[in-house]
Amino acid sequence: MIEVKNLTFSYSKDKQALHGLNFTVEDGEIFGFLGPNGSGKSTTQKILTGILKGHGGKVSLFGQDISAAHGQEFFQKIGVLFEFPYLYANLSAVDNLNYFASFYPREQRRDVGELLDALEFKPDFLKKPVSSYSKGMRQRVSMARALVSNPRLLFLDEPTSGLDPSGAVLFRRIIEQERKKGTTVFVTTHNMVDADLLCDRVAFISNGNLVALDTPKRLKEKNSNHRVVIDYLYQGQRETKTIEAPELEKGIPFAHDEIISIHSQEPTLEDMFIQYTGRGLS
């Protein structure tokens, strides 16, 4: 679906933003592209969506070089959720979506009402201006805008930004539903929970270089210390022991009356990001 070979980009002679990126995104994959501010992830996404021109190397979408893609038919296959909502503040959710849907063939458009209902948009605000919406409500309309064209390739920039926990769970469920339909999803985010729960693979970018690319599970497993922490009760006292994971193969290797919990000391995805880049996501 996406093929990137030796991708470079410079804003000026002294400011090279990307240093030869190489990666592919398969059909139907949810691919996470993670990096701190200034790392080059937004530049990469702008190139992939055709917003930013003048890159070096090769970028192909749907098997076609994006540098040669100029027709509406090519870009009508793509849906984009921007980090900051691009909506007309004086128009309602319905009017915004009907306007954006008008740029696509009728047979490609999704029903605006059904989309907003699936996104649990408050019915009382359907015809009120966007300027009266909370950030979470604007995010729902922005997601509907990205989906209204029934895209084959979906770019999501910070999709759960501004949402409460239940809203974030809803968005993750909708993204999974899109993938089940065969949609390919490219996610940029600072939210490591989203990346861990959603993405088939993640790429870490730092200072314009790709520093790691693998599944979240494998990234954590190959950097694990293979120890587990066991909380247990013995003779009325609560105790904690840390043991090597292989020791569990023959059962709990110490006296106990009741096991309260067993936790692996597997690193988090954010731990892995900091290890590979030396920087946090903020």
Inside any domain, residue 142: no
In this prediction, what percent of the chain has a pLDDT beyond 70?
A: 98
Position 280 scores a pLDDT of 55
Residue 101 lies in a domain: no
Asked if the model's pLDDT at residue 137 lies above 90, the reply is yes
What are the phi and psi torsion angles at 153 (to 5°)?
Answer: -130, 125
Q: What is the pLDDT of residues 117-133, one digit of tens each?
A: 999 999 999 989 999 99
Asked whether the beta carbons of 227 and 250 are under 8 A apart, the reply is no
Whether 23 and 7 map to the same domain: the answer is yes
Q: Are residues 65 and 18 in the same domain?
A: yes
Our count of domains for the chain comes to 2
249 and 220 share one domain: no
**For the chain, what is the mean pLDDT?**
90
Supply the range of the domain harboring residue 237.
225-265
List of E strands, 75-217: 78-81, 153-157, 184-188, 201-206, 209-214
pLDDT, tens digit, for every residue of 51-102?
A: 889 999 999 999 889 888 767 788 889 999 987 778 999 999 999 999 999 9
The tens digit of pLDDT for each residue in 27-37 reads 999 999 998 88
Q: What is the pLDDT of residues 259-280, one digit of tens each?
A: 999 888 788 888 888 888 776 5
Residue 5 falls inside a structural domain: yes
